[in-house]
Amino acid sequence: MSQTPKTLNESPSQTAGPYVHIGCTPNFGGIDGVYVEDPGSRLINEETRGERITIKGCVYDGTGAPLTDALIEIWQADAAGLYSSPEESRGQVDPNFSGWGRSPGDMETGEFSFESVRPGAVPYPDGRMQAPHITFWIVARGINIGLHTRMYFDDEEAANAADPILASIAHRQRVDTMIAKCDSEGAYRFDIHLQGEHETIFFDM
């Protein structure tokens, strides 16, 4: 084991503020003609392999009101459990799947929406398998540092029961805050609560 060399401090985070759309989804924000399309608006195309899913939800503040100025990003493996990343060494990811999506909440209702495929399982560092999951990252006015969490699937009970991250949660009644509910075939609801009785589990990893 080598000595740990001195490391730089990470740049401090600052809130994305109320106008995150200008920089991250300018076409949605009404700035037309600068970018051809907003980054992250499509994860899949007709050729993408796997079961189609939609994910909808809202981010709620401590008063129960939906945030109408948030930006939500997701990152996930393809249907075979492979990431579209140089870090992926286990196989060839589906070339028709980006793995990354970005959705502004609706400016009136706050609802975000993604169309994707159901991810395959990916391994934990010790070799155990993690249940299929999608990483979420939430920024908004009033959020000083972006919030990481994961969405798991309510119809993956056996895989969820064996998932090392879910298993590590001491307060078992909070596990449900990370599990999306299947409304109808392929349609999942994943609401995120910043505070309160149903506060979502956020990560420090």
Partner 1 sequence: MSTETRPQPGYIPRDRAWQPPALAPAYKTSITRSPQQALLSFPTTLSEESGPVFGHSILGSQDSNLLQNFAADGASAIGPRILVYGQVRDQSGQGVPDALIEVWQANAGGRYRHQKETYIAPLDPNFGGCGRCFTDDRGYYEFRSVHPGAYPWPNSENSWRPAHIHFSVFGPAFAQRLITQMYFEGDPLIWECPIVTAIPSRQGIESLIARLDLDATLPMDSIAYRFDITLRGRQQTYFENRTEGL
In the range 148-177, which residues lie near partner 1 by CB under 8 A?
Answer: 148, 150, 165, 168-169, 174
Residue corresponding to tokens 């990470």: 10
Facing residues of 135 across strands? 75, 150
Which residues lie below 8 Å from residue 54, measured CB to CB, with a gap of 6+?
A: 113, 114, 115, 116, 186, 187, 188
List the structure tokens of 77: 């493996």
Span interacting with partner 1, options 12-20, 49-57, 109-117, 153-161, rule CB under 8 A: 12-20
Contact between 45 and partner 1 (CB under 8 A)? no
Asked whether position 116 contacts partner 1 by CB under 8 A, the answer is no
17 touches partner 1 by CB under 8 A? yes
Rule CB under 8 A: say whether 72 interacts with partner 1.
no
The reply on whether position 80 binds partner 1 by CB under 8 A is no
Cβ at position 184, least distance to partner 1 in Å: 27
Q: Which residues touch 145 (CB under 8 Å, ≥6 apart)?
A: 13
Interaction of residue 106 with partner 1, rule CB under 8 A: no
Q: Does 109 bind partner 1 (CB under 8 A)?
A: no
β-strands 59-60, 192-193 pairing: parallel
Element at 165 (helix H, strand E): helix 164-167
52 contacts partner 1 (rule: CB under 8 A): no
123 contacts partner 1 (rule: CB under 8 A): yes
8 near partner 1, judged by CB under 8 A: yes
In the block, tokens 């990252």 appear at 137
Nearest-approach distance from CB 49 to partner 1, in angstroms: 18
